[in-house]
Amino acid sequence: MSEKRVSTPLEDRWINTIVRSNTRSNYTYAFKLYLEYTGKTAEELVDEAIEDQRRDPREKRGLPLTRILGFYEWLQKEYRITQNSAKTLVTAVRSFYSTFEIYVKLKGRSNLPRGRVRHKRLILDPRQVLRLVNHTRTIRDRAIIVMIYQSGMDVSTLCSLEYQDVEKGLRERDHPLFLDMSRVKTEVDYFTFLGRDSADLLEAYIEDMMRRGFKYTPTTSLFWTEHEKRPLRPHAIQDSLRDSSIRAGFIQEDSPFNIAGAHALRESFSSILINDEVPDSIVDFLMGHVVGAMASAYKTVQFDKVRRIYLEREPLLSIYPTSARANGIHLAREDVVE
């Protein structure tokens, strides 16, 4: 059995600046590969970079940049890592250098090649989303699909929702239902809304869980696996969406890519609002993207404006006619495809 590699003081200094445990783990793995590629220690990499910075501009070799560009190509050739994944690993290495005020800029000729888009996601209209919903196996999956479509949230953030995040809004029948969020991927604080369709489906799912004896507390995860064994995770949502997409005829069973998955639902939310002249900054905010100083304004003085904008566009995101909602057609448990 190989011995576990011991990190050096410089590595510890860098990695201790990273708060999230998942990010720390990923960055540690990236740097391990970088050390393998360069054949140098962390101290040697910093020493050579500092020495290069001190050179006359006419004699600088730009060693960190040269090494990173080579590392990027090496990852794809030696480890068969995709361009997008290789870029993520490069970001980790740049983070290491920046801890010691060595900034590696990737712009212009030094920019990393863009990955080719091999699969184009669908921009789903309400009828297509309804088709997807009608081919789900559970009422839980119905609620998830429409929540993503009407709120723009990503699956990791959706999985982080707790009962206390929606309990008051559902109880008081808020419309739209306000969600005070923190995006898991970027740790950005923001808010978004649920329209009537997604709020009604969510309420039906919770009621169904309670009828089966499940007990919700304020900090209980909102979505659970079948038989309530454990909180739902992103990969399970992706799997269920793939199953629904196959059943609905959007993709074939052997298709390697789901063009009607969670990312497609999220992009559809964005596209629908932008095409109806909602400012890009507001759309970005509702999706949990970084919008800088505008975020504070949207959460305070412009809250009512953002809420009104959402309400005015909700019909574009609605998948059920009013008559169907009033009759509870889409909420019936026996209507779920098994």
The SS3 of residue 286 is: helix
> Rounded to an integer, what distance in angstroms lies between the CA atom of residue 135 and that of residue 133?
5
Which pLDDT score, from 0 to 100, does residue 113 have?
65
pLDDT for res 312: 96
| Spans of the chain, pLDDT less than 70 | 1-5, 107-110, 113-119, 322-338
Domain ranges in the chain are 9-110, 126-335
Reduce the DSSP state of residue 332 to 3 states and report it: coil
Cα–Cα dist 139/336, whole Å: 6
248: left (phi over 0), alpha (psi -120 to 50) or beta: alpha
User: How many Cα atoms are found within 13 Å in the side-chain-facing hemisphere of 260?
Assistant: 27
182-235 residue pLDDT tens: 887 777 889 999 999 999 999 999 999 999 999 999 999 999 998 778 999 999
Using the 8-state DSSP alphabet, how is residue 180 labeled? E
Q: What is the pLDDT of residue 335?
A: 39
Please state, in angstroms and rounded to a whole number, the distance separating the CA atoms of residues 237 and 200: 20
Both tokens assigned to 124:
């789903």
At 79 the pLDDT is 78
The per-residue pLDDT for 298 is 86
Q: Are 244 and 264 in contact (CB under 8 A)?
A: no
Q: Which residues contact 323 (CB under 8 A, 6 or more apart)?
A: none
Specify the CATH architecture of the domain 126-335. Answer: Orthogonal Bundle (1.10)
The residues facing 264 across adjacent strands are none
Instruction: Please state the pTM of the whole predicted model.
Output: 0.64
Report the candidate in 166, 151, 144, 161 with the shortest Cα–Cα distance to residue 237. Answer: 144
- Position 115 scores a pLDDT of 54
